[in-house]
Amino acid sequence: MPRFIPRPSNGVSFLVAISVAGTVVLAASGCRALAEETASSAEAPAKPTRPAILPNRWQEDWSALADPALRTEPWDSLKYIPLFVTDPKSYVSFGATLRERFESNNAPNFGVGKVAGDAYLIQRLQISADIHLNAHWQIFAQIEDDRAFDKAMISPADQDPLDLRFAFVAYTNTFSDGTFNARVGRQEFDFDLQRFISSRDGPNVRQAFDAAWADWVTGPWKFIGFVSRPVQYLDYGTFNDYSNGSFRFDMLRVERQISSTIDLSAYYALYERDNAQYLDAVGIEHRNVFDVHFAGRLQNVDWDLEAMGQTGEVGAKEIRAWALGGRTGYTFSNLAWSPRIGLQADAASGDNHPGDNKIESFNPLFPNGYYFTLGSYTGYTNLVHLKPSVTVNPVAGLSVMAAVGLQWRQTTADAIYTQTSALPGTAGIGGLWTGAYEQLRVDYRFNANLTGAIEAVHYQIGETVRQAGGHDSDYLGIELKYSL
């Protein structure tokens, strides 16, 4: 799992370089003012540096390649195609990302329900076109093809043949007291550590939304509002993903940058869907979501804390659910390999009294598959979770993390949950202890375009899972991702 990285500020930073070309010798002291003016004029903004490839490709800015001296890579002729020679912010850029991941899981869902082990290859191909008409207007589109080869049980999160992932128009403008941004169309959202709202990069098929977004940035404040319809995926056919009024997700959010490394945010969101199904409730779901997030870094200490409460109704039943999440760590920056000692703690409510007029099972909304492990053994419902970890960086670009996870249920009245579902035969049965797992993850950046990762997880189940027909489980994932 990645270490906490503080979110950068919303401004654009410029470096000022001072160069001295030589020595100016003046014949008369009356020319001193001219000499000072000449020295001052030698101060100028440094030339733009080559941009980096970002996880969200639509956030890249390749206008720096208007300088021919920066076009040093083979694909630069596709990264910057000028539209109007007089405006370096007017250009077209093409990009592509190919991710290949081999996965082996000897017991999906812990083997409950006679689920057999599986080994397969998942592949994600993305091709994007980014059109900047000028400094204010952007048109972005991306198609994506997701395949699962030799996978025994394929879900909409595993496979989605050729379809539209992004298609939006964006506008931005800076005024004397702030910056306004707006986007309309198909897009992705990810907030904070992506515990509950993410682009879902862990599974093969990412999560998109058909939405209208607007934000206003002024000083240390950022105000965000959007209305959206989450995109629903079909694992067959092409260009057939859809959204409609049966599923909506809207938000009002405020962020405050306390310092360059400390952030505080809060939001209210409305989550509604038809035909919701829980162990103790079915019907139309109307869920009010209240969230507070506090993250930062001071010297060698980093932290990320989040709390969420949920109210509303599912059918005739009242929602009362909550969740807490925290990560903290200390990095020994003066030691070899810069080891970081970390601790993750999470809890989420389960339904304490099935059959009453309340549903207390927490809904994790649009969670990040990376947050626990890629093995999908842990879901953010009816959960208590502790995870100490150690991360080291032996060489530049290489990160190695080892962790142990300990898990309990918040209540035995509710089921044990994986990332995808509730385990059959566990609700109201057995004790709180769910099990423990060991995790090893290695990430390596070969160069600016190619990254790799290996993740291995061994889960030792508790007695409740064993009585439900499960057994100890092992996951292995090997991934390569190339972007241009």
Nearest Cα to 154, choosing from 236, 62, 80?
236
pLDDT of residue 44: 52
Sequence-distant (6+) residues with CB within 8 A of 223 are 215, 216, 253, 254, 255
The dihedrals phi and psi of 290, each to the nearest 5 degrees, come to: -120, 125
Q: Is residue 105 within 8 Å of residue 118, measured between CB atoms?
A: yes
Q: Give the pLDDT confidence score for residue 47 in this predicted structure.
A: 59
pLDDT tens, residue order, the chain (484 aa): 444 444 433 333 333 333 333 333 333 344 344 344 444 444 455 556 788 899 899 999 999 999 988 988 888 999 999 998 889 999 999 999 999 999 999 988 898 887 778 999 999 999 999 999 999 999 999 999 999 999 988 888 899 999 999 999 999 999 999 999 999 999 999 899 999 999 999 889 999 999 999 999 999 999 999 999 999 998 889 999 999 999 999 999 999 999 999 999 999 999 999 989 888 889 999 999 999 999 999 999 999 999 999 999 999 999 999 999 999 999 999 999 999 999 999 999 999 998 899 999 999 999 987 899 999 899 999 999 999 999 999 999 999 999 999 999 999 999 999 988 899 999 999 999 999 999 999 999 999 999 999 999 999 999 999 999 999 999 999 999 999 9
User: What's the pLDDT at 347?
Assistant: 98
Residue ranges of domains in the chain, CATH in brackets:
16-483 (2.40.160.100)
Torsion sign over Cα 418, 419, 420, 421: positive
Q: What one-character-per-residue DSSP string does 262-300 give?
A: EEEEEEEEEEEEEEEEETTEEEEEEEEEEEEEEEEEETT
Which pLDDT does position 85 carry in this prediction?
84
Q: Taking the model in full, what pTM does it have?
A: 0.86
- CA 163 – CA 142 distance, rounded (Å): 9
Length of the chain: 484
Query: What pLDDT sits at residue 308?
Result: 98
* CB-CB contact of 385 with 397 (8 Å): no
Sequence-ordered list of residues with C-beta below 8 angstroms from that of 315, at least 6 positions apart, any chain: 276, 281, 282, 283, 284
Dihedral angle, C-alpha 209, 214, 217, 222, nearest 10 °: -60
Interatomic CA distance for residues 447 and 406, integer angstroms: 36
| pLDDT for 46 | 59
Q: Sign of torsion, CA 162 165 166 167? A: positive
Closest CA relative to residue 347, chosen from 409, 392, 278, 405: 409
